[in-house]
Amino acid sequence: MPAAVYVLGLSVFALGTSEFMLSGLLQPLARDLDVSIPQAGYLVSAFAVGMVVGAPLLAAATLRLPRRTTLVALLAVFGLGQVAGALAPTYGVLFASRVVSALACAGFWAVGAAVAISLVPVNARARAMAIMVGGLSVANVFGVPAGAFVGQHWGWRAAFWAVAVLAAIGLVGVLTVVPSTKPPTGADRPVLRRELRIYADRQVWLAVAITALNAAAVFALFSYLSPLLTDVAGLEESWVPTVLALFGVGALIGTFIGGRVADAHLFGTMYLGIAASAVVLALLAMTASSPAAAVTLSLLLGVTAFFTAPAINARMFNVAGAAPTLAGGTTTASFNIGNTVGPWLGGLVISANLGYRAVAWTGALLAVLALAGTALASRLHRSEGDSSGHHHSEVVATSQQPASGAADSAGAAGEAIPSEADASGAARIRG
């Protein structure tokens, strides 16, 4: 595997750590900037908003630009966004820095995945993409709790400085290791006008809704997991990094299992995973005062949430398979719509003095809505089949989120989606 692919994975580790680390920094950040916990939680939504806007726009805008130059520019902007966040004198400046960082993050996913794919033969694409996704997975297991640890001992600003250093290392790596590559031309060149036609398909919009609702269900709770653990379960703040790491371990387990069953049972995987998330969230709402229950259910939520991710990603590529440039960007945007709406709804619930348990109930309700959307999509699929013509095929399935990133971005950057045979293997490896 080319060294450049590992450098891209390291860069993704920095991006993923920045995206999710605030979940463990809400309390010290809120105290320092003199804002409420819900206001601090909106910083998670700010990053997600930038991803929603940036994923489809930058996927299209960077198609004709030199790849390595684009990667360097995006990492530089991302790193400067972290520096701006570390130096932010006010909440407003920090909010703006999060949006700018997210725009750069979305663009890097799109271009970085295309470069990784271009550096390896077709039969090694899945391994290359798995390394990029691995950067995000490792960020959830180590980067996010490490950010919380750094924030608790040296201040939340130190966590932003640490991510800025990681971004700088990634930038140097891209400059020295990633070869100069160019976007597809000729017959492989994507045509946006043709791909925009996917948005006339109601199955595409159903896939958007299911992805967004599923993400919102998880992040309504995850964004406020730290205060729930301390204020309701009664744990010390020093426990927060450990519980966040357990959530990340659960995410790895869920992705591993989900990636292996989604090919044969796509809708079954979606039903099981979303329903399980609803149950876990409801149980957490009822038993959050028990430290043991809160910790255990946080681990299980990581499992259930990411167990569903490969199937949800595959479903979007099935219904929008004729538009690889926009299918990936649409999935990334959909996930981050949920990542925006979830913390926002959670903040409203907290501001209404309903308590942190009510945030878990809100997540459970959102999961039930995602389950209803899955049932409708399944019914339409059986009655009329997908408009894309992929009635039974399973295309590239990968984890997102957090992140839907790698497979989404591969499509977003205009790379060809692997054949059904290749994709089945890709789903297993990347899961």
The CA distance from 322 to 70, in Å, is: 26
Cβ atoms < 10 Å from Cβ of 120? 17
Give the DSSP letter of residue 352.
T
Q: Which residues contact 410 (CB under 8 A, 6 or more apart)?
A: 113, 114, 117, 129, 324, 328, 396, 417
- Could you tell me the CATH number of the domain that includes residue 242? 1.20.1250.20
- For helices 240-261 and 420-430, the axis angle rounded to 10 degrees is 150
Which residues lie closer than 8 Å to 245 by C-beta, 6 or more apart?
A: 141, 142, 144, 145
**Higher model confidence: residue 408 or residue 140?**
140
Over residues 64-75, the pLDDT tens digits come to 677 888 899 999
Does the predicted model carry a pTM greater than 0.85?
no
Q: How distant, in Å, are the alpha carbons of 18, 53, 66, 102, 276 from that of 46?
A: 12, 11, 29, 8, 28
Count of structural domains, the chain:
1
Give the structural domain span for 409. Answer: 3-430
Contact of 130 with 208, CB cutoff 8 Å? no
How far is it, in rounded angstroms, from Cα 278 to Cα 37? 24
Top mean pLDDT of 57-66, 164-173, 181-190, 412-421 is at 164-173
Query: Mind listing the pLDDT tens digit for each residue in 241-288?
Result: 888 888 888 887 887 788 777 767 888 889 999 999 999 999 999 998
CB 311 within 8 A of CB 394: no
Does position 169 have pLDDT exceeding 70, yes or no? yes
Other beta carbons within 10 angstroms of residue 79's beta carbon come to 23
Alpha carbons 361 and 353: distance in angstroms, whole number: 14
Query: CB–CB of 326/198 below 8 Å?
Result: yes
Q: What is the pLDDT of residue 414?
A: 34
Q: Which pLDDT does position 411 carry in this prediction?
A: 35
Residue in this structure with the two tokens 């209404």, named with its chain if needed: 352
